[in-house]
Amino acid sequence: MNERHGPTDADLLTIAEQVWTSYLDVDGMSPLVPVPAEKPSLDVSASVSMTGAWRGHVVVRCSAAAARNAAAALLGVELDDVTTEDVTDALGELANIIGGNVKSLLPEPCALSLPHVLIHGESGYPHVVEVCRLSGTWREESVTISVLESALVVERTE
């Protein structure tokens, strides 16, 4: 039996709530609100990959409006001043922060990649199994965070 290990939906919710409280909910008035899973908006996606004892990805997907709001909150700029580069930087940093927290729950050794951000498109991850997912809203925009474990078994030679 191939047993999968990794974070749970509850772990992901705890991590996301901590990240939103620390980095995005600067006014204490706009928390991430979990909602039943629905088709997420895929205007912007950011991911980090993990390799080592556990292999997979952490993916943050959200609407363009949520991405712009995140950039404004993380970078401390006015919403009207947010650039595409700001969105790329901010969503990459969110994926990195959440990925680092997920990595702390995984078996060692495990390395985290640099973030990968796509705007206006869905990135594909072949040969993966979704381990956990958090669907929510933030400032009335959809946000989805998922952890994907590689299902591709790589034989190690010694």
d(CA 107, CA 99): 14
Both structure tokens of 51: 């390799």
- Residues whose CB falls within 8 Å of the CB of residue 158, separated by 6 or more in sequence, listed in order: none
pLDDT tens for residues 37-46?
555 555 888 9
Mean pLDDT for the stretch of residues 19-39: 74
pLDDT tens for residues 30-79?
777 777 655 555 588 899 999 999 988 998 988 888 899 999 999 999 99
5 near 106, Cβ under 8 Å? yes
Could you give all domains of the chain from N- to C-terminal order, each with its CATH number? 38-150 (3.40.1550.10)
pLDDT tens for residues 111-150?
999 998 888 754 566 667 888 888 888 888 888 888 888 7
| CB atoms closer than 10 angstroms to residue 69 | 22
Backbone φ, ψ for residue 153 (5° rounding): -85, 125
Type of residue found at 65: A
